[in-house]
Amino acid sequence: RENIGLASLSKLSRAGLLDPASERTAVTELIDRLGIRAASPEVAAGSLSGGNQQKVVLAKWLLRDCRVLLLDEPTRGIDVAARYEIYRLMNELVDRGMAIVMVSSDLPELLGMADRILVMHAGRIVAERPNTPELSQQQLLQDAFGSR
C-alpha cells in the first residue's frame, strides 16, 4: 500500500495530512485493476514476485495520473505469464491515451510493442524506424552494430 501511495501523497492528503481512507480506496482499486497478487495491501513490495513488483511500480505512477510513462526493461527477469500481463496493461494504458517510452534490449518485445523504435549505439541515436511488419530483428541489429 505504501509503495503505491507514496508518489501521490498530495493527491491522497487533506489539509496536509494523509487521508488513510482515500489511500486505502485508491490503492485497493489499483491492486484489483492491475491484478496484483498479494496476501494483503500491507505486504512489502520486495516480497512479491517480479511480475507483481512491476505492477506495483505501474500502479504507483497510474495513481499520479501520469500522461507519459518511462519504462526501463519492464519485463526483464519476470516469467512469461507476468510478461504478457505487463504487455496487456501497457496496451490498455496506450488505448486510454497514455504515452509510453520503453527502453528494452529484447528485440522481439520491441517489435511486438512499439510503434516507433529508436536504435542507440554508444549512447547516441543511430536510427529511427517506424515499426512496420517488414521491420526485422536483423535490421535493428544492423542499425545498432553495423559498420560505422
Residue 144: its pLDDT value, please?
Answer: 94
Provide the residue ranges of all domains of the chain, joining segments of one domain with +.
Answer: 2-71+79-100, 104-148
Name which residue leads in pLDDT, 26 or 139.
Answer: 139
pLDDT above 60: residue 148: no
Between CA 103 and CA 72 the distance in angstroms is 5
pLDDT above 90: residue 79: no
* Rounded alpha-carbon distances, angstroms, from residue 26 to 30, 42, 87, 130, 140: 6, 14, 23, 37, 41
Q: Which fold has domain 2-71+79-100?
A: Rossmann fold (3.40.50)
C-alpha cell at 118: 529508436
pLDDT above 90: residue 141: yes
Between CA 59 and CA 65 the distance in angstroms is 10
Residue 9: its pLDDT value, please?
Answer: 64
* Rounded alpha-carbon distances, angstroms, from residue 33 to 27, 30, 93: 10, 5, 12
* Tens of pLDDT, residues 10-57: 677 777 777 677 788 888 888 888 888 888 877 888 888 888 888 888
pLDDT above 70: residue 106: yes
Residue 64: its pLDDT value, please?
Answer: 80
pLDDT above 80: residue 102: yes
